[in-house]
Homo-oligomer: A and B are copies of this chain.
Amino acid sequence: MRTSREFFATRTVAEALAGFRPGRRTAPETVALDGALHRVPAAAVSAPAALPGFARATVDGYAVRAADTYGASEGLPAYLEVTGSVRMGTAAEVAVGRGTVVVMPTGGVLPPGADAVVMVEYTQETMPGTIEVVRPVAPGDGLVRADEDAAPGAELVPAGRPLRAQDLGMLAGAGVTSVKVHARPVVTVLSTGDEVVPPGTASLRPGQVRDATASALTALVRQAGGEPYAGGIVPDDAGALHAAMRAALERSDLVVVSAGSSVGARDQTAAAVAGLGEPGIWCHGLALRPGKPTLLAECAGVPVVGLPGNPLSALVVFRLVGIPLLWRVGGCTAPPPEPVARASLGREVASAAGRLDVVQVRLRDGVATPLYGASALLSILVAADGYLVVPEEATGLPAGTEVEVTLYQ
Contact = CB atoms under 8 A, between A and B. Distances in A.
A170 B382 contact: yes
B210 A173 contact: yes
Interface in A127-173: 140, 143-145, 148-150, 156-157, 162, 164-173
Given A172-B215, A263-B105, A379-B170, A374 B90 contact: no
B172 A211 contact: yes
Contacts of A407: 337
Interface hub of A145, A157, A223 (most chain B Cβ within 10 A): A223
Interface in A327-374: 336-342, 373-374
Contact of A340 (B58, B213, B263, B339): B339
Nearest to A140: B374
A80 interface: no
A262 B339 contact: no
Contact of A33 (B173, B199, B336): B199
Given A214-B172, A373-B148, A167 B223 contact: no
A165 B108 contact: no
Interface in A370-388: 373-375, 377-379, 381-382, 384-386
Number of copies: 2
Contact of A374 (B37, B51, B144): B144
Nearest to A342: B342
A207 B90 contact: yes
A41 to B, nearest CB: 12
A127 to B, nearest CB: 22
Contact of A87 (B194, B381, B386): B194
Contacts of A339: 336-340
Contacts of A177: 199-200
Interface hub of A33, A106, A215, A217 (most chain B Cβ within 10 A): A215
A81 to B, nearest CB: 21
Interface in A164-208: 164-177, 193-196, 199-202, 204-208
The 8 closest A-B pairs by CB, nearest first: A169-B216, A173-B212, A89-B195, A107-B261, A172-B215, A58-B375, A91-B206, A105-B262
